[in-house]
Structure 1
Amino acid sequence: MPSSKPSSSLQKNQDEISQSSDTRDEENHNANGTASSEQQADQSDPKLDWLQHCHRYSQLLMALVEPNTFKVQYANDYFCQLTGLTTKETSLAEQEIRLTDLLVNFQTKAIESLYRQHLLLLILRDIYHLEVQGKRLLEQPVIVSVKSPLYPEPRLIEFTFRSQQLKVTRRQSQDHEFADWDVEQLLVEHDSVKLINLSQLPIWTKQLRLEDYQLSGNLLVEGSDVTERETIGQLIELLIEQKSMLQADKFFQINQHLRSLFRATNTLVLQAEDELMRLFIPPEPPDTSPLELKSTAYSRDSLSSSHFLQAADSNQVRNIPDLSQDCPTDCERSLAVKGVRSLLLIPLVVKDTNSSNETGQLAGVVGIMSDHPHHFDELDCQHARELMPAFTAGLRQAIQRHFSHIHPAVEWRFMQEAERRSWGLPAEPIIFTDVYPLYGISDIRGSSNERNKAIQTDLLVQFNLALTIVEAVEKHQGSAFCQQLRLDLLDYIEKLKIGVKVEAEVTAQKILREQLEV
């Protein structure tokens, strides 16, 4: 690694901030020294006041680190609070804490890659005296997970390096990594000016030997908390993918993201099916991925006065600050009995594209639950509004997959016809003309039923074999996990005896693959 020379004014400025801060706190808490404190404030250096204000109240994470070791030399208050650093007994420089020590799972690769990129551009500037095309490369951020005592889960921080004030010199060395490179081949001509071809920079970065260079100065690191932004992006990506959001494993992932974003206890989905409303709630504890989602059915009439349908009628996010004080239906009373106090409802209404009014068909309602009253605020409502289109698309797709199975090869024609009808055009029969199949299919009456019976028999055999294995393991070395797995298998065997459909076949295979196969 290249060595560095720390800035001589760094410790001085930090000591001045610390001394000024300590003096201010002591005077403000001394009731007998009010006049003295005001006089001291009048005589204080305005430059120090602004520096102290930025140090204490900025919501931008700022730190100075040694470029060779990433040891933190200085950090503002927000950086220290978020990462749990303290300077009460010893200064940060004396604690020898590295920036990479604060990351989850030591994500040093992303940080080091960005650092090497900055160092390479500095080498080209200070040693080769080459003008670099596109200074935006120096502003490229990196997103990493940072442990924080303020939150139960790691935070996603977007770090940016500011390396312009660093100076690079070459150590005395007989050879260097670019000795065999023709620098002229890495230059491009633009308006009579030679610039670096940025497409070649990754190759140079890999060849860079950090120990051949010496740096002076400190690297400024700026960061911002982008956890909420990234979580919303991950949720939208999950919701719009083809897999149904009501499949257990995907719903588990969505639930985890929602709990993190809204600091919630759990989530629910109320799906509309004609005159029925089907309520899906992940089992407790919500940290465990369920084998399948269980639902409770309610008639639409029984929910006519509920907060769910009120949110759907207004098509607006609805915040219920204290559910225990307002439970108009049995459904909401059952939630209150389970300990739900706050409820944030996101209505999912599918609007008709050829209609000018604001009403549409109710697809369902997503509910975010908390066991604390008055938990959700306006920022939570704003995040919920951002997720409404993605949730609507995800639940509509789940409903379509549940009721219709159209082969992807012909799905386009059905989508085309649906779009025609949305324009108010008369219905047309869906016919495929001039089609020459490469193979023929015989439509045998009852073939689907016979196929399902054969699959049912096969799955029952496999699940009974799996049950035998689990019971043998439990007998040899009993554990709570084996007992629970045995109960889950028994429960699923009873469901298989009732009947098998395509969804059940896929779920059963997934259970065997993930829970039992080695």
Structure 2
Amino acid sequence: MKLDRLKLSIEEVPFKKSLSFVPLINKLKEHKTLNGSLDIQGEAILKLVEEKPELAKVDFNIKDIEKYKDEIHVLMSYFFTPVQYREEIGVVATPFDDQNFYFTPKYLELYGNENLTVEMVEQKEQDKCFKTFSMLFYAYSMILKRFYNFELGLGYLFMYKVTDKLNDLVKYYKLEFDKSCIDISYTGKLPQVSEEDLHKMINDPMNMDFWLETLPLDKFKFSGFLPFRYVDVSQIEVISSLKSQLLEKSSIINRNNFNQLEQNVRSLLELPNLKLGIIALGMNQGNVENPSDFWHGFLDADRFRCEDYRGTMYEEAGMQGMPVLVNDLSKKENPNHVEKALLDEGIRNIAIVPLYNDDELVGVMELGSNKAYDITFSKLRIIKDIIPVFSIAIQRTSEELQNRIEAIIKEECTAIHPSVEWRFSQAASNLLLKKERNETSQMEEIVFPNVFPLYGAIDVRHSSVIRNQTIQDDLMEQLDLVRNVVAKVNEIKAMPIYDQLIYKIDYFKDGIQKGLSSGDEMNVLNFIRHEVEPLFPHFEENGDEVTQTIANYKSNINPELNLVYKRRKDFEDSLGIINDCVTSYLEQEEEKAQSMFPHYFEKYRTDGVEHNIYIGESIANNLSFDRIYLKNLRLWQLIVSAELARKTDHLKKSLPIPMDTTGLILVHSQPLAIRFRQDEKKFDVDGAYNIRYEIVKKRIDKAKIKGTDERLTQPGMLAIIFSQEKEMAEYQRYLEYLIAAGYFEDQIEYHTLEDLQGVYGLRAIRVKVKNGKEEKDVLKLAEELKIEN
């Protein structure tokens, strides 16, 4: 719940309330009248009330609680049976008030234990406001149900975090209440609330001032009491926290973040002695390997490498795909070298959990303890649902490390695609021979003539619009936060200069709400950093309320960037996850595609991922080229594009900001030449005629269907652009087959495109990608199609 949007100008609830046991008494009498009898407990309560009629007062004086504590214990046994009284954390309070008058022993233990810290999960600065808001929300739910027959769905609004200071283990409790013993009365004529008013209220739930104006509460009275139970939701909350942490790019690389993960897993399993380890381990032809050098394991990576884990429980877990649990390492006969080292590290109880991503082993998780039998299979079942998230995290971490290594290689030397390494080696060898003959020379030009290009792209839809919106949202939040600071100071000690600052803040807000222009972000940040933030020390001299408001501002500021960086971070994380998914799958399938026929492949990230492929005899050293390989590669590209559309669509619901992707393929049947440019360390098309191909590539992503304003590229669809009829006929055959294979919906659209600058006569096929889970072997599909020359 975003409390910064909460609007509430009052501090106390505006309705009348009183403690009364009458609702309970009436409830029991009614039940007895309807059913003819009550259970022993109910009869005992009614008999007690007959003996002590003062308990049936409409307004029971809270000061008399101690006097009648034994009698009240009997009344409350209706809600807390003897077993529940002993085992549950419970409390009973006056209606919508902090006057608690009945407690279970575990409640008193919770709040009486000096080693436990109990705090609301919401921000402390807003506790009072949030409590009032929650009470009003609960009250309205009862009023709307009782007087207007309108059900207002409620989850739980109060959440408490309990931290054990001795071991830092954390538990979470949601607060549930029983409203069955509350009577509501109204003095005077009941306000008329239309259905339209009700919908306006529920559409703006955070604006409680609007609710109070629409349906005033000052004539309502709540009589009775509210029993509350603290329900343990630690597993749900800790698992949710773990998932959020693991989505962070540096979740397991950064040591501090990793330590926090370890502490959360301890809390989840309630094991203060637990140790967590994660290692990037894979299996290659039955052998253990570490593809990315990522290592947060129990044993030092400098002392133990992959080959040391062969024949151990680590390899066993990876081979079987199941966790391996050892209850007590010290009791094992003839422990191997790894088990001896673990014992030396104080590990007696250990579980090795394999981590899989797309059915491929990407690593193992270590769970260890210095106490035997700490970790059990029932404990492992608790973390079952977060194992896939750990797998994704280690996969992303491995890829990130590999990208860093590649970046260093690209900076220090040229990154050469394996398919063309032979040609660079040949050129380097020729250069060495010339230098040995004392000939003045430079490295020869590297050109591959007569190659066929394939181009494809998976693009994030409206990424620029979403990026601008996230910047707007973050700037607006920061302006609201800093305005709260200045407004609070002005409220305590009014000065004209504060009014001028508030005017300037509102001026920036109005401008940003209308749209983000070039320079707006820098102007806002410069104003805040140079004109407002330097005044904070002076502001804090005005008391604790101002200091708390400033602390709230600072808590929402990213310490590294010195600005609010929430929605932008969500956008960058979402874009990164999409690109990671696309890149990972593209690289995986491209590696397989090399077995068809060697070809040059390159990819690059924008707001999405684009790829270029060049295939031809000049690239394949000493291999004879046939157009069958080009056709196979085109079919491969179609299938991969469909699978990427499916994967990004499935990924959408788990992203911080859900984003759609579009797919695009450009068909070019004429061979061209590519030349390696030494200055940019990359390949480019060679020759004036071939440059047109590059121009087309750069402009087609915004192409529109002729005679409309509709963009060709659409979410969930694959667009194929071509300029020749024979290309269309070839791709039509592929699509008809892939429709039958379940990759696309059975409808092929044919379109003519609007002319682009310098590009005319383009046409397109568009098909809708069909949802599906089955992934066939991409390379075998060409054989099934029986492509002919």
TM-score range, shorter chain: 0.5 to 0.7
Indicate the residue corresponding to 2:345 in structure 1: 338
Q: Secondary structure of the equivalent of 1:67? A: coil
Tell me which of 65, 71, 91 is aligned to 2:93. 65
Taking the aligned partners of 1:144 and 1:389, their CA distance within structure 2 comes to 28
Task: Give 1:372 shift.
Answer: 1.5
Return closer, same or farther for 1:446/1:296 CA change in 2, 3 Å cut-off: farther
Taking the aligned partners of 1:167 and 1:65, their CA distance within structure 2 comes to 15
Return closer, same or farther for 1:378/1:224 CA change in 2, 3 Å cut-off: farther
Q: Which amino acid aligns with 2:246?
A: L
Return closer, same or farther for 1:248/1:52 CA change in 2, 3 Å cut-off: closer
What percent identity do the matched residue pairs reach? 15
Deviates more, 1:412-421 or 1:217-226: 412-421
Q: Secondary structure of the equivalent of 1:381? A: helix
Taking the aligned partners of 1:276 and 1:315, their CA distance within structure 2 comes to 16
Tell me which of 60, 84, 100 is aligned to 1:55. 84
Tell me which of 15, 18, 35 is aligned to 1:5. 18
Would you say 1:321 and 2:327 are equivalent positions? yes
> Is 2:168–2:263's contact at 8 Å kept on the other side of the alignment?
no
Task: Give 1:417 shift.
Answer: 5.3
Matches within 5 A, 1:162-241: 162-169=178-185, 184=193, 187-188=195-196, 197-204=201-208, 208=212, 214-241=221-248
The alignment of Structure 1 onto Structure 2 pairs a total of residues equal to 366
Taking the aligned partners of 1:410 and 1:120, their CA distance within structure 2 comes to 46
For residues 401-441 of structure 1, give each alpha carbon's deviation from its aligned partner in whole angstroms, at most 9, with x where no partner exists: 11135897987466335346679994764353879xxxxx9
Higher relative CO (Cα under 8 Å, sequence separation at least 6) belongs to 1
Deviates more, 1:418-427 or 1:154-163: 418-427
Return closer, same or farther for 1:154/1:268 CA change in 2, 3 Å cut-off: closer
Indicate the residue corresponding to 1:136 in structure 2: 153
Taking the aligned partners of 2:97 and 2:324, their CA distance within structure 1 comes to 50
Would you say 1:266 and 2:275 are equivalent positions? yes
Q: Secondary structure of the equivalent of 2:302? A: strand
Taking the aligned partners of 2:22 and 2:221, their CA distance within structure 1 comes to 20
Taking the aligned partners of 1:241 and 1:375, their CA distance within structure 2 comes to 29
Indicate the residue corresponding to 1:27 in structure 2: none
> Is 1:305–1:329's contact at 8 Å kept on the other side of the alignment?
no
Q: Secondary structure of the equivalent of 1:223? A: strand
Indicate the residue corresponding to 2:612 in structure 1: 432
Matches within 5 A, 1:395-434: 395-404=394-403, 412=582, 415-416=585-586, 418-419=588-589, 426=596, 429-430=600-601, 432=612
Q: Which amino acid aligns with 1:52?
A: T
Task: Give 1:269 shift.
Answer: 1.9
Return closer, same or farther for 1:69/1:310 CA change in 2, 3 Å cut-off: same
Task: Give 1:79 shift.
Answer: 4.3
> Is 2:169–2:266's contact at 8 Å kept on the other side of the alignment?
no
Tell me which of 118, 123, 141 is aligned to 2:138. 118
> Is 2:144–2:152's contact at 8 Å kept on the other side of the alignment?
no
Taking the aligned partners of 1:445 and 1:419, their CA distance within structure 2 comes to 27
Q: Which amino acid aligns with 1:158?
A: K
> Is 2:266–2:274's contact at 8 Å kept on the other side of the alignment?
yes
Q: Secondary structure of the equivalent of 2:169? A: coil
Taking the aligned partners of 1:69 and 1:119, their CA distance within structure 2 comes to 12
Return closer, same or farther for 1:333/1:224 CA change in 2, 3 Å cut-off: same
> Is 1:131–1:195's contact at 8 Å kept on the other side of the alignment?
no
Deviates more, 1:108-117 or 1:304-313: 108-117
For residues 30-76 of structure 1, give each alpha carbon's deviation from its aligned partner in whole angstroms, at most 9, with x where no partner exists: xxxxxxxxxxxxxxx9x9799634434665x4432123432332344
Task: Give 1:117 shift.
Answer: 0.2
Indicate the residue corresponding to 1:161 in structure 2: 177
> Is 1:3–1:68's contact at 8 Å kept on the other side of the alignment?
no
Q: Secondary structure of the equivalent of 2:196? A: strand
Task: Give 1:157 shift.
Answer: 0.8
For residues 477-509 of structure 1, give each alpha carbon's deviation from its aligned partner in whole angstroms, at most 9, with x where no partner exists: xxxxxxxxxxxxxxxxxxxxxxxxxxxxxxxxx
Taking the aligned partners of 1:314 and 1:446, their CA distance within structure 2 comes to 45
Tell me which structure has the larger Cα radius of gyration: 2
TM-score by length of 2: 0.39
Q: Secondary structure of the equivalent of 2:383? A: helix
Taking the aligned partners of 1:227 and 1:375, their CA distance within structure 2 comes to 19
Q: Secondary structure of the equivalent of 1:343? A: strand
Task: Give 1:218 shift.
Answer: 0.9
Taking the aligned partners of 1:207 and 1:83, their CA distance within structure 2 comes to 34
**Root mean square deviation of aligned Cα:** 4.9
> Is 2:323–2:352's contact at 8 Å kept on the other side of the alignment?
yes
Return closer, same or farther for 1:370/1:3 CA change in 2, 3 Å cut-off: farther
Indicate the residue corresponding to 2:382 in structure 1: 383
Task: Give 1:375 shift.
Answer: 0.7
> Is 1:83–1:146's contact at 8 Å kept on the other side of the alignment?
no
Return closer, same or farther for 1:77/1:426 CA change in 2, 3 Å cut-off: farther
Q: Secondary structure of the equivalent of 2:148? A: coil
Task: Give 1:147 shift.
Answer: 5.4
Runs (5+) with no aligned partner, structure 2: 1-11, 26-40, 46-73, 408-575, 602-610, 614-665, 668-675, 683-789
Q: Which amino acid aligns with 1:378?
A: F
Q: Secondary structure of the equivalent of 1:374? A: coil
> Is 2:17–2:95's contact at 8 Å kept on the other side of the alignment?
yes
Tell me which of 236, 249, 262 is aligned to 1:255. 262
Task: Give 1:350 shift.
Answer: 4.1
Taking the aligned partners of 2:329 and 2:593, their CA distance within structure 1 comes to 42
Task: Give 1:255 shift.
Answer: 1.8
Taking the aligned partners of 2:267 and 2:335, their CA distance within structure 1 comes to 29
TM-score by length of 1: 0.56
Q: Secondary structure of the equivalent of 1:229? A: helix
Indicate the residue corresponding to 2:770 in structure 1: none
> Is 1:144–1:157's contact at 8 Å kept on the other side of the alignment?
yes
Would you say 1:372 and 2:371 are equivalent positions? yes
> Is 1:317–1:347's contact at 8 Å kept on the other side of the alignment?
yes
Taking the aligned partners of 1:74 and 1:299, their CA distance within structure 2 comes to 61
> Is 1:276–1:298's contact at 8 Å kept on the other side of the alignment?
no
Runs (5+) with no aligned partner, structure 1: 18-44, 86-99, 173-177, 284-292, 353-359, 436-440, 448-518
